[in-house]
């Protein structure tokens, strides 16, 4: 194959970001914003991004990993088309890494080698996250909704929730720096951090029961408790707190930052009947997206 294309979804973490780095469980969903990556063979060796040599790019690094692993003697040129806003906590870098690795795998192996692209996507993510838990690449690969734990991997679950509102606070941030900030908090407050990990895990367990019982109001309240824990470890911001307050005032059951925080996006849990009203109210102040949860994972696309 001379040319191939693949796409992968972005994600929202519903519960447990940051704590998942320390092997806590997190609940994560793929969303219907996707990145599409087209790859073609190239007459120059190595991986090129739109005919340019670019270093430290997750999609380039992921494709390089496939080339190196398979001993491919030619080069690859990649082109990215993404609807996922970058650097706001929606998994853009994982999605482009996984889609790029999948398209490279299609060219070199004639199929999507899921095990290999999982490793390649993780390598791509390391450029951005430094110490990724693997949650973003895992959901980009698998799609759906599930519980992720670093030491145990991913288990799909069903939740009675199809749509969520995402508020973009307008501030981009660096995931690696936010992960480092939490590490510093942990090093300076070891005892309290351990208590926070226990609380965060308990929240996830209660939420899973609430989802089973269809208690979205209860889930919304626990989102606020999760947000309080994230605030305590230093990854909230004034804009995030403002967005959470506005979401609640507009009628959401709950809201919290999603992803690394420090800016980026806030997710709002809203009753299906109220989504339009809440959307309009929030959009007077912030950019808002209505997204569908549980989107399909990585897949081959027509070229
Ligand atoms: C980023 O989407 C989620 C973090 O927990 C980092 C990670 O798990 O790799 C902040």
Tens-place pLDDT, residues 100-112? 999 999 999 999 9
* List of residues 6+ apart from 261 with CB closer than 8 A: 17, 18, 89, 173, 178, 230, 235, 236, 237, 240
For ligand 1, the distance from its centroid to the CA atom of residue 13, given in whole angstroms, is 9
DSSP SS3 for 5? strand
pLDDT at 286: 97
Please, which pLDDT band fits residue 276 given cuts at 50, 70 and 90? very high
For residue 21, give the ligand 1 atom closest to its CA. 8
pLDDT at 298: 98
pLDDT at 37: 98
Query: Exactly one of 23, 43, 51, 136 is catalytic; which is it?
Result: 136
pLDDT at residue 1 greater than cutoff 90? no
Q: Which residues pair with 46 in a beta bridge?
A: 75
Please, which pLDDT band fits residue 205 given cuts at 50, 70 and 90? very high
Distance, in Å, from the CA atom of 55 to the CA atom of 49, rounded to the nearest integer, reads 10
Domains of the chain: 3-158 (3.30.230.10), 163-292 (3.30.70.890)
Q: Is 136 a catalytic residue?
A: yes
If one residue of 129, 140, 226 were mutated to test the ligand 1 pocket, choosing by the most ligand atoms within 8 A of its CB, it would be: 129
pLDDT at residue 155 greater than cutoff 90? yes
If one residue of 20, 87, 154, 265 were mutated to test the ligand 1 pocket, choosing by the most ligand atoms within 8 A of its CB, it would be: 20
What average pLDDT does this structure show over 30-36?
Answer: 98
Q: To which residue do tokens 């609940």 refer?
A: 27
Distance, in Å, from the CA atom of 102 to the CA atom of 113, rounded to the nearest integer, reads 7
pLDDT at residue 162 greater than cutoff 80? yes
What average pLDDT does this structure show over 228-232?
Answer: 98
pLDDT at residue 130 greater than cutoff 80? no
pLDDT at residue 128 greater than cutoff 90? no
For residue 261, give the ligand 1 atom closest to its CA. 10
Average per-residue pLDDT in the chain?
Answer: 96
């Amino acid at each position: 194959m001379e040319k191939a294309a693949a796409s992968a979804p972005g994600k929202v973490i519903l519960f447990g970001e940051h704590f998942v780095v320390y092997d806590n469980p997190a609940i994560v969903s793929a969303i219907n914003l996707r990145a599409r990556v087209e790859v073609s063979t190239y007459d120059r060796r190595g991986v090129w991004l739109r005919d340019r040599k670019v270093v430290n790019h997750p999609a380039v690094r992921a494709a390089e990993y496939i080339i190196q692993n398979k001993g491919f003697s030619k080069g690859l040129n990649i082109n990215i088309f993404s609807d996922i806003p970058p650097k706001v906590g929606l998994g853009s870098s994982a999605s482009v890494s996984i889609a790029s690795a999948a398209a490279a795998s299609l060219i070199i192996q004639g199929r999507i080698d899921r095990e290999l692209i999982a490793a390649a996507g993780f390598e791509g993510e390391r450029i951005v996250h430094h110490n990724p838990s693997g949650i973003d690449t895992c959901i980009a690969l698998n799609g759906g909704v599930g519980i992720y734990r670093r030491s145990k991997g991913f288990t799909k679950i069903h939740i009675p929730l199809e749509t969520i509102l995402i508020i973009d606070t307008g501030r981009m941030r660096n995931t690696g720096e936010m992960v480092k900030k939490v590490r510093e908090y942990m090093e300076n407050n070891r005892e309290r951090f351990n208590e926070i990990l226990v609380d965060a895990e308990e929240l996830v367990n209660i939420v899973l029961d609430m989802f089973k019982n269809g208690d979205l109001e209860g889930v919304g309240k626990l989102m606020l408790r999760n947000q309080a824990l994230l605030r305590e470890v230093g990854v909230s911001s004034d804009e995030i707190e403002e967005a959470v307050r506005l979401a609640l005032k507009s009628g959401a059951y709950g809201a919290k930052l999603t992803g690394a925080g420090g800016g980026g996006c806030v997710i709002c849990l809203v009753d299906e009947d109220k989504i339009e009203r809440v959307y309009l109210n929030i959009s007077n102040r912030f950019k808002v997206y209505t997204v569908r949860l549980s989107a399909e994972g990585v897949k081959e696309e027509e070229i």
